[in-house]
Amino acid sequence: MSVKGMTCGKCGSALVHDTLTKPDGSTVHIAKCPNGCGKIKSPMCCGQDMSCAV
C-alpha cells in the first residue's frame, strides 16, 4: 500500500503507513495519523479486505 498526499482531517498531519493485526492473526494495511487522531483501512469487497499480491 502506498499513501501519498493524504492528511488527517483533525490536525492536518500527513498520514503514515502501518499494519493492523486482526484477532485471527491476519494483517490489514492501514494509514494512520501519527498524532493518534485515528486510522483508515483498505476497502472491503464482498466482506473481505481487499489486498494486493505484490
* Angle formed at CA 13 by CA 10 and CA 3, multiple of 5 degrees: 110
What pLDDT band is residue 1 in, cutting at 50, 70 and 90?
very low
Query: Which positions ≥6 away from 37 have C-beta within 8 Å?
Result: 8, 9, 10, 11, 13
Give the pTM.
Answer: 0.65
What phi, psi does 46 have (nearest 5°)?
55, 35
29-53 pLDDT tens trace? 888 999 999 988 766 666 666 665 5
DSSP summary character for residue 7 = B
Instruction: Identify the pLDDT of residue 6.
Output: 84
Cα(first)–Cα(last) distance of the chain, in Å? Answer: 9
